[in-house]
Chain A
């Protein structure tokens, strides 16, 4: 399930709703992204998240569907906020539920890496030095790339060693 909203979310209530009435789940992983204040001249007063209504929902649903294709998940949730947030506020919540922990951990990490490099959100920070659009980071693309499926390569011929 995915949700895009300006309102805050309650992590405990979201997890409870996801698992309610189910006894087939063995592992639940959640990740919460929050507004970091920073310090010195870069300290934040607020952060405004802009997004592309329509495309945002499609991208999040696409990313979630891909996670379900790759891992045996019993449930998942992505909640992403937009609008003006203060330091310490929640930005994003990802919850994954599976029979076993590895799938839940990996899928949650995958969802965040994909979301950061493809969901159409843009952060603008406001501090003492005025508003500033946050620049994308190469490390986010690298984090996404680690989930790329390896391209099929021809099998190398076994080496034959003449002398044992």
Chain B
């Protein structure tokens, strides 16, 4: 795992209907330390997904630099693992084949891949579903596969784009707790995009509030770990922090 730094990042789109330039991101600088967990929140249209797509290399930047472990990145690459809101699992591959897709691409042997599948499916609690196809799984199970598929490829940073936005509320809380547990054990560098304020506060060490393409405020979350919802729902510090971030987002 490595650190991630955005230096004066900007993105402008050409609007073909109005014939003008539209600024989506202006001058965003942000540092995610090695092994840190940073959440980015903001109202829809604030540019948070654009930032993630630029870090992932799916869309080009208009200015500034993206550094992973001190090296500038251009275009998509296996050093940045991505977890998608729509899961983006390969429907024609089994769960095990999805999880070992990254290792297969870098030329891992069959035995090596079997070991990786075993380890990461156990991590996701999905050992029983190794040979199933994604469409045979529930949304929550599909996204567990999505998370471990990214992790199994040993990325330097993990990029998560509203990964739990399309599962039901109960499953979402379970997935959040599982993700925290994995993070506490393995300490990957994570940047997590969400519009859900309590999700951001629950998961992250630092919450970045984005507004109209720039950083409004960075809020440190010094809540103790391990974090579970049963402890935090009644926790005063959690409530105060959530309220503070919520006020910022509503003003944004």
Interaction A to B: no
Residue ranges of A at the interface with B (Cβ–Cβ < 8 Å):
none
Residue ranges of B at the interface with A (Cβ–Cβ < 8 Å):
none
